[in-house]
C-alpha cells in the first residue's frame, strides 16, 4: 500500500502541515559548507524519525554528527521535537507550537535552525565536543496556504540550560509552490507535479545579552524537492551566506522515506485495534 506525504522543500522553515497520523517518516540529510577564510570545510549528517501521533501532533527524534576536514569526526548529540497545531481547521494564518529538547555539544553543525550568533565553526572539535549544550528550543510557526503557495514564518527562542547565554533568538521565513497544480493520470516521475520549489531565509537575531542581527549567520536559500517515488522524496538547497559570520555557501540535501500506517501495526502488536 502506498501513501505519501508531499514533503515541503524547506530544510529550516516549518509550515503547518503535520505528518499524517500513524505514518513514520525516516529522513537522512546533511549540511556541508563552502567555508570562508579561517573557516573549515565540514560535513554534518543527521537522521530524523518523524511520526504523526495525531492529525495535530507530530513528534521527531534526531541523531546527528559531523566531520570536519583536517580535524575529526564526532557524534554531536540528539534532539527530541514536538509540534502541536492548536486550531482544528484551516485559516488564513495557521499557528503551530514547537517545543524541542536538545542534548548536543557545541560541535553541532547541522544548523537545523540558527539562533543567537550561529554555530562556532572555527574552534577544533576536541574543544567543542567537550562543551555540552542542553537546550530548550521553542518556535512559533505561522503558516498560510494561498493559491497553491505556502508562506511560513518561524520565530525561534532558544535557551542553553548548560550555560548562561541568555535567551537566543532566530528566524526563518520561506515560501514555495509545486511546479504543476494538477496530477497527470500516468506515473511519471519527471512531471512538474512531483517538484516543489521556493526560497527560504533564515538566521540568528542575537540574544538577550546582545539582541542584534549583527555578528550572526544569515542565509538566503533556494529550495527544491522531488517526489522520486510514491513514498520517497529528495530535497536540495544551496544557502548563500549574507553576513561575514555565515559560511560562504551551505549545501543541504536530504532523502526521506515514508512508512504508512506503522502506528496501527505497532498498536496491533500491543493488542490494539486497527
Contact 222, 252 (CB under 8 A): no
CB nearer another protein, residue 77 or residue 217: 77
Smallest gap from Cβ 274 to another protein, in A, equals 6
- The H or E element containing residue 273 is none
Query: Can you read off the three cell numbers belonging to residue 216?
Result: 550572526
CA dist., res. 201 & res. 195, Å (int): 20
Question: Nearest-5° angle of CA 123, CA 125, CA 130?
Answer: 105
Q: Please identify, using beta-carbon distances, which residue of 42 and 51 lies nearer to another protein.
A: 51
Q: Which residues sit at the interface with another protein, rule CB under 8 A?
A: 1-4, 6, 8, 15, 17-18, 20-23, 49, 51-57, 59, 61, 78, 80, 85, 88-90, 101, 103, 145, 147-148, 150, 177-178, 181-185, 187, 193, 230, 260-264, 266-267, 270, 272-274
Query: Going along 161-189, which residue ranges are E strands?
Result: 167-178
Q: How far is the CB of 26 from another protein (least distance, A)?
A: 13
**Residue 255 C-beta: closest distance to another protein, Å:** 18
Which of 160/247 has CB closer to another protein? 160
For another protein, the closer of residues 244 and 274 by Cβ is: 274
Torsion sign, CA atoms 142, 206, 166, 82: positive
- Least Å distance between CB 123 and another protein? 22
**267: helix, coil or strand?**
helix
Amino acid at each position: 500500500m502506498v501513501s505519501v506525504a508531499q514533503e515541503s522543500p524547506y530544510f529550516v522553515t516549518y509550515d503547518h502541515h503535520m505528518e499524517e497520523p500513524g505514518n513514520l517518516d525516516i529522513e537522512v540529510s546533511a549540511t556541508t559548507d563552502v567555508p570562508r577564510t579561517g573557516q573549515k570545510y565540514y560535513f554534518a549528517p543527521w537522521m530524523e524519525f518523524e511520526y504523526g501521533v495525531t492529525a495535530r501532533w507530530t513528534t521527531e527524534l534526531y541523531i546527528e554528527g559531523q566531520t570536519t576536514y583536517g580535524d575529526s569526526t564526532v557524534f554531536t548529540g540528539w534532539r527530541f521535537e514536538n509540534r502541536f497545531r492548536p486550531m482544528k481547521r484551516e485559516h488564513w494564518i495557521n499557528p503551530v507550537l514547537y517545543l524541542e529538547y536538545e542534548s548536543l555539544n557545541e560541535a553541532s553543525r547541522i544548523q537545523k535552525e540558527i539562533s543567537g550568533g550561529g554555530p562556532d565553526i572555527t574552534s577544533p572539535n576536541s574543544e567543542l565536543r567537550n562543551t555540552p549544550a542542553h537546550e530548550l528550543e521553542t518556535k512559533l510557526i505561522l503558516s498560510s496556504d494561498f493559491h497553491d503557495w505556502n508562506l511560513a514564518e518561524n520565530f525561534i527562542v532558544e535557551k542553553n540550560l548548560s550555560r548562561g547565554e541568555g535567551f537566543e533568538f532566530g528566524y526563518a521565513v520561506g515560501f514555495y509552490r509545486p511546479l504543476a497544480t494538477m496530477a497527470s493520470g500516468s506515473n511519471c516521475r519527471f512531471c512538474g507535479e512531483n517538484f516543489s520549489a521556493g526560497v527560504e531565509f533564515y538566521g540568528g537575531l542575537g540574544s538577550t545579552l546582545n539582541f542584534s542581527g549583527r555578528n550572526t549567520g544569515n542565509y538566503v536559500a533556494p529550495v527544491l524537492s522531488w517526489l522520486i517515488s510514491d513514498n520517497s522524496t529528495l530535497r536540495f538547497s544551496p544557502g548563500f551566506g549574507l553576513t561575514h559570520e555565515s559560511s560562504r555557501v551551505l549545501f543541504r540535501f536530504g532523502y526521506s522515506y515514508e512508512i504508512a500506517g506503522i502506528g496501527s501495526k505497532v498498536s496491533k502488536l500491543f493488542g490494539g485495534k486497527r
